[in-house]
Structure 1
Amino acid sequence: MSPIRALDEDLIDSVARIAPEKADTLKKFRIEHDPCAVFTNDQKFSFRVNTESKEIKLPTAALEYLWCACYAFYVAYQEYSTANQGSASEFDLNRNERSRGALSLYKWGMEKLQQSPLKEWPSDKAKPDVDATINEDVRVANELYLCAAAWIIHHEFAHINHGHKNEPINNEESREQETEADNSATKWVLADVADESVLKKRGLGVAIATLVLTAQDILAGEFKETTHPRSFQRLYYAICPYFQDPDHLVYAFSTVICHINMAMSGMEIVTNDDETWKENLETCLVQFSRLTRP
């Protein structure tokens, strides 16, 4: 059994926990629509919903990849921050055992999406765990995973709530539905949050939920716009309306993770120390726009 199953109960609870201030609204939605979650053995990153049966499918391989990404992204950002504080001229993700392990796990998670779901979690790598004695990296990865997964599930809820079609007329209509679902999920998670620490945590979860899509396209070397908007557009439009400080942690985190994946794919990385983190992220997105494929 996959270690990701250890977080299934928390995953279902996260739908309410991500925004407890909206508990009454969520209760009404559940009474009206009675949605249900089904864990599947599908491959690829393919969360989806049947808006007629109200069944939301959560592929195990996709959940595994999401947790691996949460773990690796957190460790990578921490390592980058440490190197940056030490005025290092270069950042090497293979610099120590901690970062090497995180990178290796991240690569395993990506490979899992393309291979048999029966491939077992590597025994020598970090894994999801609810034990109170687990290390800080795993604990943070658990929390980021639950925040990101909650946004994904609320995205599927939005399809139900808006009465979206299971089979849109064309790709343009599908993209409109996906954008509406993105906006609704993000508003649910981030709107009207006064506590900066809460907003920061939720914002990182939303960013990761869209970064994992962007990262896959970076590593594939192209950004497709078919039934869904381009992944980097989804990332930017999810965080931009809710974070006014151009040097906010969410922008810094998103930029660093884009840069790491760009380095892995051999892409040129353009940075400007005089620009804000938001501006540096926008520079990445301009580069990505040139790799768009129909």
Structure 2
Amino acid sequence: MADDFGEEVRELLRQITPQRSNELNILTEGVTFRKDENEDGIGFYASSNLKLVRVTMRCQARLWAHCYAYYCMFTEYAVRQSGADSGLSSDQLQVAGDFLEWAVESDIQIRLQGGSGIPVVMKDAPKDAPLPFENINANVVQVGSETIFLNALAFIIHHELAHIQLGHVGVESDLSIQQEYDADATAAEWILGVDVADEFDYLVRHLGVAIALLWFTSLAFREKFVIDSHPPSWKRLLAALEPTVKGEEDAVWGFVVLALTLHFHRYGLSLDTLSEVTHTRATVVEMVETIEQFNAGLGKESE
């Protein structure tokens, strides 16, 4: 692992919640941040005893893919509902879909091969997939995606910081699961519990938190959840958002419905089992319940 790069991390976190700069100095005092350039998996990690946070770098390309793809789809849907044109071509939307497909498949491949000792060889990302922060003339969708990406990454880092702040140490079963919920709640409050400048600021903060947990949830369509130290990501998604989303019909719920619908279609889950498909919290709750049932059945056909 490389040397401490704490000031880079602190600058990111200050950028997301500048109102809490003084609090951040206290929160991160004595904490060492180390970047891991070698780990392929989603290997963010905290040690309360060592006051250490490890930030994996290579997986962030897949987080970016989720942010860009979902926001493209969300923008296209929202703008079309108003009768306008998002400015996104069919080719751009296809690239966004391919980019998301690449991200999910890469994470699944890493999970399947990571413990086998066989080197993980991943496909290259789609050649036309955009990179963040490289185009000074980036369009509105690109800039929005970049802002969401930074919020998602900040939530994940704050989740790890929360483990240190709350004094979490290695435990098992129910207590470990509660620690994860507590770390999510603390991180979400840090990102979402501040005054926002406008509706866009409110939206991108919530979408950042949502996508961080949708990233993990997307794997549930292919990989049976068996980790007894963490709660299922689909339950974490609801728990993290519910305290601060403004209402039953908030746009954030609509975003989550659209994102999950992409995966429902991809894996052949029928929306007909839902009582009603609306862009509301009620639909998200039903979709989460469906994911749980679907995930529980993974692998049974081979038993």
1:73-101, Cα deviation, whole Å (9 max, x unpaired): 01111233345456xxxxxxxx9211110
Q: Does 1:282 align with 2:280?
A: no
Aligned partner of residue 242 in structure 2, secondary structure:
helix
Amino acid at match of 2:249: D
How does 1:20-169 map onto structure 2 within 5 Å? 20-31=18-29, 33-85=30-82, 96-113=90-107, 114-115=109-110, 116=120, 120-165=124-169, 167-168=170-171
Cα distance, 1:27 vs. partner?
0.8
The count of corresponding residues between Structure 1 and Structure 2 is 276
State the match for 2:248 in structure 1: 246
**CA offsets 1:119-172 (integer angstroms, 9 cap, x no match):** 65443322223331123332222111100000000000001111111x32x122
| TM-score of the superposed pair, with normalisation by structure 2 | 0.81
Q: Which moved more, 1:144-153 or 1:205-214?
A: 205-214
Q: 1:225 to 1:284 in 2, by over 3 A?
A: farther
Q: How far apart, CA to CA, are the structure 2 residues paired with 1:221 and 1:69?
A: 18
Q: Which residue, 268, 271, 285 being the options, matches 1:269?
A: 271
CA gap of 1:191–1:129, structure 2 versus 1, over 3 A, is: closer
Once the two structures are aligned, what percentage of the paired residues are identical?
24
Answer yes or no: is the 8 Å Cα contact 2:277–2:283 preserved in 1.
no
Structure 2 spans left out of the alignment, 5+ residues: 1-5, 84-88, 111-119, 298-303
**1:259 maps to which residue?**
261
Q: Is the 8 A contact 1:225 1:292 kept in 2?
A: no
What SS does the corresponding residue of 1:209 show, helix, strand or coil?
Answer: helix
Q: Cα offset for 1:276?
A: 5.4
Q: Paired residue for 2:205?
A: 202
Counterpart of 1:188, as a letter, is W
**Matched residues in 2 for 1:256 and 1:102: separation?**
14
| Superposition deviation, residue 105 in structure 1 | 1.1
Range with greater deviation from structure 2 (106-115 or 240-249): 106-115
Q: 1:28 and 1:145 mapped to 2: Cα distance?
A: 25
Quick check: 1:127–1:138 contact (8 Å CA) kept in 2?
no
Structure 1 unmatched ranges of 5 or more: 1-7, 87-94
TM-score norm. by structure 1 comes to 0.84
Q: CA deviation at 1:186?
A: 0.6
Structure 2 CA distance for aligned equivalents of residues 196 and 30 of structure 1:
28
Q: Look up the equivalent residue of 2:22 and give its one-letter code.
A: D
**Structure-1 separation of matches of 2:217 and 2:40:** 18
Amino acid at match of 1:242: T
Give the CA RMSD over aligned residues.
Answer: 2.7
- Give yes or no for contact 1:10–1:146 (8 Å, CA) kept in 2: no
Amino acid at match of 2:294: L
The letter for the 2-side match of 1:277 is T
Contact in 1 for aligned 2:191/2:205 (Cα 8 Å)? yes
| Aligned residue in 1 for 2:114 | none
